[in-house]
Structure 1
Amino acid sequence: MGVYAAELSVTVTDSKNRLLPNIVVYAEPLDKSSMPNEAAPLDHSAVMDQIHKQFVPHILVVQKSSWVNFPNSDSIKHHVYSFSPAKSFELRLYDGGKAKPIQFEKAGEVVLGCNIHDWMLGYIYSVDTPWFAKTNKQGAVTLDLPDGDYQLKYWSPLLQNADKDKAIQLTVKGDKQQTIQLNDELLPALADYENNDELTDY
């Protein structure tokens, strides 16, 4: 892989050419020997907050081996957990910023829940590369990465089977534009729940 930075501009659309926001896009170099290790250290933890009984952001993407902090900005307690193979953990009932940061040593999808508020659902997606981002409202993302050969991958919890585990082989040499068009429409997102929890003291 070369040492010159290039700008890879990616647009993600569905099968009907509609622009898709909040899609994780990441580039894995075919030669990982020269890939820099830029995982967030403990003193620069990524943040998955809890605001208005929701995980914020709904989807957090981090580099493998990064640490994630789980503050609770609500005035009530939460009990965060995950049973995902990529990271299984539990942060028992707590409020404020008392929870210890968690390290995500493996790549993959981690589904978050709260034992107190069943509707709370969030995702942490850990990738084995420092070049990643989520698409904006226009379905676009820009990655600054060295010239070289890559697999361009994408992820969302709403992908259907035809679009899971897909990758695009591409060579980056200077600035480049790439469109990712899904084969299927995204699965419908879960409806928002009303904040009518009876356990107001927790």
Structure 2
Amino acid sequence: MNPIVPLLSVLALVPSSTARGVATSPDAAAAISIPARQGSDAGTAAGRVRFEGEKPEVKPLAIEPDRAKGCTPAGEAIDAKDESLLIGKDNGIANVVITIEVADAKAKVPEKPIVMDQKKCRFEPHVVVIPAGATVDFLNSDQAAHNVHIYPLKNEGFNQTVAVGGKHTATFPKSDKIQIKCDLHPWMKSWLIVSESPFVAVTDADGAFKIAGLPPGEHKATLWHEELGKAQVVIKVEPDGPDGAAGKSAPLEFKLSQQKKEGRPRR
């Protein structure tokens, strides 16, 4: 990773590898100083992640008809949209994971399992974020068998068949970025992001995100996308003024670009 370069009171985004690039405009970088706010909106980081440059061609998924039996009701085609790079309205990028690290802040583990479904031979949602220590129910809502094959870096891997109407349950104790595939239907791919931080968001179809409740101070934020790689930035949450007024903060805007592909993006 290249050294992070200071810019005013913030740090500018830098690419994590030479395969792909991440950049911000000077105006966007200068907006990363965030005033703290009282109540539920205290220290809210909100904005948008956009694609910069010529949009790459994203081809439909290669779906083999012989393997697609039972995926959808008779006469209904499988959705062949490739979700690995979704660029929407005003170049907003979906499924960018933004994680802000705050000292001593740990994500709370939910009592109930988090659900990832296999529906119409697609994993839904495409990107799921869970707290470290959480349990996931991998469901099969199709009329065809699936298997959940995970590729973790830190957690224990498995390759588990899930029968029609069945489920497989697993717990993930360590922070991780886990690719998930179905070997029976090779076009099925998704990501499970396991985070120790409670301050995590996934951008929506327009590239928008919001992370609330940040305390005053400087915090490292990481942007990660399965095709565009990752980058880091430091955000500064300003303390309240003497009268409790927080002032105004422009929405954050990050611009990601794709450079010549020389390998897989780092997780």
Q: Distance in 2 between matches of 1:51 and 1:64?
A: 25
1:167 aligns with 2:167: no
Q: Distance in 2 between matches of 1:108 and 1:10?
A: 25
1:11 aligns with 2:48: yes
Deviations 1:56-106 (A, max 9, x none): 11111112222111011111111111132233122224221342x211122
Q: Distance in 1 between matches of 2:260 and 2:96?
A: 11
Q: Distance in 1 between matches of 2:257 and 2:194?
A: 24
Report the Cα offset of residue 37 of structure 1. 3.5
1:103 aligns with 2:171: yes
The residue identity in structure 2 corresponding to 1:12 is V
Q: Distance in 2 between matches of 1:37 and 1:86?
A: 18
Which one has the largest radius of gyration?
2
**Hey, what does 2:109 align to over in structure 1?**
39
For residue 141 of structure 2, give the secondary structure of its aligned residue in structure 1: coil
**Hey, what does 1:191 align to over in structure 2?**
none
Q: Distance in 1 between matches of 2:94 and 2:190?
A: 16
Residue pairs, 1:112-123, within 5 angstroms: 112-123=180-191
Report the Cα offset of residue 185 of structure 1. 6.1
Q: Distance in 2 between matches of 1:131 and 1:82?
A: 25
**Hey, what does 2:122 align to over in structure 1?**
54
TM-score normalized with structure 1 length: 0.76
Q: Distance in 1 between matches of 2:129 and 2:106?
A: 17
For residue 118 of structure 1, give the secondary structure of its aligned residue in structure 2: coil
Q: Distance in 1 between matches of 2:179 and 2:201?
A: 18
Q: Which runs of 5+ in 1 are unaligned?
A: 188-202
**Hey, what does 1:83 align to over in structure 2?**
151
Instruction: State whether residues 45 and 67 of structure 1, in contact with CA within 8 Å, keep that contact through their aligned partners in structure 2.
Output: yes
Q: Which runs of 5+ in 2 are unaligned?
A: 1-36, 54-89, 239-245, 262-267
1:154 aligns with 2:223: yes
TM-score normalized with structure 2 length: 0.59
Instruction: State whether residues 24 and 154 of structure 1, in contact with CA within 8 Å, keep that contact through their aligned partners in structure 2.
Output: yes
Deviations 1:23-81 (A, max 9, x none): 1112111x2x2x1441223xx21111000111111111112222111011111111111
The structure-2 alpha-carbon separation of the partners of 1:83 and 1:36, relative to structure 1 and needing over 3 Å to count, comes to: closer
For residue 140 of structure 2, give the secondary structure of its aligned residue in structure 1: coil
Counterpart of 1:94 (choices 144, 163, 166) is 163
Deviations 1:110-133 (A, max 9, x none): 111112212211111112211112
Deviations 1:135-171 (A, max 9, x none): 12221111112323211211111114xxx2x211111
Q: Distance in 2 between matches of 1:183 and 1:120?
A: 25
Q: Structure 1 runs of 4+ off > 6 angstroms?
A: none
Q: Distance in 1 between matches of 2:228 and 2:109?
A: 26
Report the Cα offset of residue 14 of structure 1. 2.0
Counterpart of 2:193 (choices 107, 125, 134) is 125
Instruction: State whether residues 159 and 186 of structure 1, in contact with CA within 8 Å, keep that contact through their aligned partners in structure 2.
Output: no
The structure-2 alpha-carbon separation of the partners of 1:185 and 1:73, relative to structure 1 and needing over 3 Å to count, comes to: farther
Instruction: State whether residues 64 and 105 of structure 1, in contact with CA within 8 Å, keep that contact through their aligned partners in structure 2.
Output: yes
**Hey, what does 2:94 align to over in structure 1?**
21
For residue 182 of structure 1, give the secondary structure of its aligned residue in structure 2: strand
Instruction: State whether residues 132 and 175 of structure 2, in contact with CA within 8 Å, keep that contact through their aligned partners in structure 1.
Output: yes
The residue identity in structure 2 corresponding to 1:11 is R
